[in-house]
């Protein structure tokens, strides 16, 4: 099973992402939380148990800036190994650069068209779960 | 990324055979790109810092980095990039023969964007490069780094 933590403040988008993943990869389990605080609690829920990797991949899709949250993940010695993908309606270069400077693993501009959104979800699945070696998943 | 939409890729790889394979695999995609090659870690850092013969080098949009190389290995290069004020946001993809869990941990700990074990099978290798091209150039948006 691959576990995605999706930090999503738009209910319909969360449902859409979950539904699309379930159609393309039945081995993906998605946990949706709607804000950073709940996400932090989720990620830290069992820190004493070393093998308890809470997520193989984190996708952040929030309306407001998520720079502080990226910094939180990427400065934590256990959590920083988890790839973080930013989905954002912002195409502001400075914001993209800031996310990448804090070591977000990828920045994706959120599309308005459904077809493009499906294409993106397929590419995330192919790239991160079929091609890349993740630190959490020994082969 | 350049104004003319040409993507600059820096491949850091000491095996000439793998350089040619990667070059060929990239050319199968429909991405207009320029591929620069550094054959070890020292050369990669000279290129990135525009030293000596690299004074006119183009800052890459994406780096494909091998791990086991003479003079300076890939992990050292990664660490230097990630602590460099200007270069630290460049996506770095590890493309290596190493299957070691320790290497995978160390690379993600030092903020590699993604880690790939080079497939031995030629078609699988082409699939890997195609997935990298598709994800980084069709799906993701790259940070813009001043040259």
Q: Which fold has domain B7-139?
A: Rossmann fold (3.40.50)
Q: Which region, left, alpha or beta, applies to residue A68 given φ > 0 means left and ψ of -120 to 50 means alpha? A: alpha
Pairwise CB contact (< 8 Å): B105 & A81:
yes
Q: Which region, left, alpha or beta, applies to residue B51 given φ > 0 means left and ψ of -120 to 50 means alpha? A: beta
Task: Look at residue A48 and tell me whether its pLDDT is greater than 70.
Answer: no
B1–chain A Cβ distance below 8 A for any pair? no
Task: Look at residue A117 and tell me whether its pLDDT is greater than 90.
Answer: yes
- For an interface test with B, the pick among A50, A81, A134 (most B C-beta atoms closer than 10 Å) comes out as A81
Q: Is residue A138 part of a domain?
A: no
Domain spans of chain B, in order of start: 7-139
What distance in Å separates residue B37's CA from the closest CA in chain A? 22
Residue B41: half-sphere exposure toward Cβ, Cα within 13 Å: 16
d(CA A82, CA A137): 11
Nearest C-alpha neighbor of A43 from the set A93, A68, A78, A71: A78
Q: Is residue A136 part of a domain?
A: no
Q: Is residue A74 part of a domain?
A: yes
d(CA A88, CA A7): 12
Range of the domain at A115: 2-131
pLDDT digits (tens, 9 = 90+) for B93-105: 999 999 999 999 9
Q: Is residue A86 part of a domain?
A: yes
User: ipTM score here?
Assistant: 0.93
Nearest C-alpha neighbor of A77 from the set A109, A26, A43, A31: A43
* CATH assignment of the domain containing A103: 3.40.50.2300
What 3-state DSSP class applies to B94?
Answer: strand
The pLDDT confidence band at residue A53, using thresholds 50, 70 and 90, is low
Helices (H) and strands (E) in chain B, counts: 5, 5
Q: Is residue A137 part of a domain?
A: no
Domain count along chain A: 1
d(CA B76, CA B67): 9
- Cβ distance A78 to A52 under 8 Å? no
């Amino acid at each position: 099973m691959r576990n995605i933590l999706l930090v999503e403040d738009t209910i319909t988008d969360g449902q859409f992402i979950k539904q699309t993943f379930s159609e393309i990869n039945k081995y993906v389990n998605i946990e949706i939380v709607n804000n950073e605080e709940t996400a932090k609690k989720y990620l830290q829920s069992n820190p004493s148990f070393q093998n308890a990797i809470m997520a193989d991949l984190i996708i952040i899709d929030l309306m407001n800036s998520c720079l502080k949250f990226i910094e939180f993940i990427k400065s934590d010695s256990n959590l920083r190994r988890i790839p973080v993908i930013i989905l954002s309606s912002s195409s502001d270069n400075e914001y993209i650069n800031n996310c990448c400077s804090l070591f977000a693993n990828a920045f994706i501009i959120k599309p308005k068209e459904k077809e493009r959104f499906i294409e993106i979800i397929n590419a995330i699945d192919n790239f991160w779960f079929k091609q890349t070696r993740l630190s959490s998943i020994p082969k | 990324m350049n104004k003319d939409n040409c993507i600059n890729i820096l491949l850091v790889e000491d095996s000439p055979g793998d350089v040619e394979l990667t070059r060929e695999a990239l050319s199968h995609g429909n991405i207009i790109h320029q591929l620069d090659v550094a054959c070890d870690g020292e050369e990669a850092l000279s290129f990135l810092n525009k030293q000596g013969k690299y004074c006119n080098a183009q800052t890459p949009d994406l780096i494909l980095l091998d791990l086991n190389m003479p003079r300076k290995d890939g992990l050292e290069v990664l660490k230097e990039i990630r602590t460099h004020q200007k270069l630290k946001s460049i996506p770095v993809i590890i493309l290596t023969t190493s299957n070691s869990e320790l290497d995978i941990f160390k690379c993600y700990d030092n903020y590699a964007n993604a880690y790939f074990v080079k497939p031995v099978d030629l078609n699988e290798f082409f699939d890997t490069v195609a997935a990298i091209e598709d994800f980084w150039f069709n799906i993701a948006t790259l940070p813009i780094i001043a040259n």
